[in-house]
Structure 1
């Protein structure tokens, strides 16, 4: 283990021990800290004065939604529109490597910054809020295709589950987690938080999102999705387990499962991008 990883491991475990102690003396503060660490991204912000090169020559538009503002970046093309939805602690610049392939179609391509990421407002990220932002973008921009990476893919599935009658005709999901329960389990294990925190966090989700963790599952959402799509997942994904992708694919009747190897969680790969292009623009309906 490298020195950097060793230091991070020690810091993570120390935070977990602090939460365990705090749970005994001040349970409300322990809940607040646990939820904050789980839902407040540490990186992924962008400054409008120092945007990555790939985002600089785009049409930029800020949408107002409730008390929030979310940022979009558009590479203008024809009437076919593709909406790109990034994942946790990332931003719209993550699509740089797939852009040349999508642009071959001549399509208009729109990337959205997630809540509390990029140039979008807020400090808290969660899938219901992200899906709400996606719905606003879909209503305003009317994309034909939506592509989501990681938890952005989960948000796309949740959105399609909630709002099946939209302009979206095809969907591509890359390295997405299925179950919120699994994410929370992994988070608790990573920090070595006392398992007694789990029902407390679960109660918090039930109160704020009106859903039980067991029911908040992309695999469950996929059962109701009628449009055609791709689920791609790498066997060596160390961030989101390969089994998560399999669960989604198993339940999505019109979902085509693509297995990749040695791409990791980023899923950047010319062969995969060519296959996605073929599915979106060349495959027979």
Structure 2
């Protein structure tokens, strides 16, 4: 199927790059499949207090565990859902934190269409007003730029853990085009369609929503075998965020399994607890 889509888009792009860009945009913004609650997530998922937020007329499912003290926000990625954080929720509860999360629009049990980074900012701000300020924020994959932007724009968080994340906003278009073998012209038209479709034609979004210097202590976790988000994004995140960013390399976990790895969960939550920045973190052995 991917080969057929790739060949079709390339052919259309030769005839009309703009039409090819619009079609690519319609594919780019659709998850195509919703993540379901897995068997090993059922107990944690069922234990959450479920509420609903309104985002652009769509009902967004939110989840809260614990007694409300020391809230920690969990932000999932593309084609994922809040229940993927089951291992984190269990560990955070054991240590007296109150995990907070949500299924993004068009993901998990939430309704609506895929929303932009600005929509996620509004959701995260609403969760802060309801549950915050946050002791910490943990995000995975595409949730990383969403979480970092929300904090940059004023959401409070003492510490943050960013796992397998995207640092360069343009990477979202570049990786999509690379996967389908689309050339520079279709990449350019896809970017223009994204600008028009979500951001009123703003050409500066690629800089505006990329990672910039931050003040909160930040732990970056990435895997050397990540086949979804290039590990080079971790190095870019570290450079752009500045001296408050720290790195935890891992190996052999890929993009998705890293989120349920017990050692990663332990180190990530320990980072939220520490008053001093841990040195020499390394799970690569």
Q: CA RMSD in A?
A: 2.3
Q: Which residue of 2 aligns with 1:147?
A: 138
Q: Which residue of 2 aligns with 1:57?
A: 47
User: 2:22–2:193: 8 Å Cα contact kept in structure 1?
Assistant: no
User: 1:105–1:281: 8 Å Cα contact kept in structure 2?
Assistant: no
User: 2:173–2:191: 8 Å Cα contact kept in structure 1?
Assistant: no
Q: In 2 relative to 1, CA 270–232 (structure 1 residues): closer, same or farther, beyond 3 Å? A: same
CA distance in 2, matches of 1:272, 1:97: 10
Asked which structure has the greater RCO (Cα within 8 Å, sep 6+), the reply is 2
User: 1:13–1:192: 8 Å Cα contact kept in structure 2?
Assistant: no
Matches within 5 A, 1:128-277: 128-142=118-132, 143-163=134-154, 166-207=155-196, 208-209=198-199, 210-212=202-204, 214-216=206-208, 218-219=210-211, 221=212, 223=213, 225-252=214-241, 253-266=243-256, 267=258, 268-277=260-269
CA distance in 2, matches of 1:216, 1:62: 29
What is the CA-CA distance between 1:84 and the residue it aligns to?
Answer: 0.7
CA distance in 2, matches of 1:205, 1:213: 10
CA distance in 2, matches of 1:74, 1:138: 12
Q: Which residue of 1 aligns with 2:59?
A: 69
Aligned pair count? 267
> Which is further off, 79-88 or 191-200?
191-200
Matches within 5 A, 1:42-53: 42-45=32-35, 52-53=42-43
CA distance in 2, matches of 1:97, 1:83: 14
Please state whether the residue corresponding to 2:170 is helix, strand or coil.
Answer: helix
Please state whether the residue corresponding to 2:184 is helix, strand or coil.
Answer: coil
Q: Which residue of 2 aligns with 1:7?
A: none
Structure 2: segments with no counterpart, 5+ residues: 278-285
CA distance in 1, matches of 2:33, 2:44: 18
CA distance in 2, matches of 1:216, 1:190: 25
**TM score, norm. by length of structure 2:** 0.85
User: 1:75–1:109: 8 Å Cα contact kept in structure 2?
Assistant: yes
Matches within 5 A, 1:106-145: 106-142=96-132, 143-145=134-136
Please state whether the residue corresponding to 1:196 is helix, strand or coil.
Answer: helix
CA distance in 2, matches of 1:214, 1:242: 19
Q: Is residue 95 of structure 1 aligned with residue 85 of structure 2?
A: yes
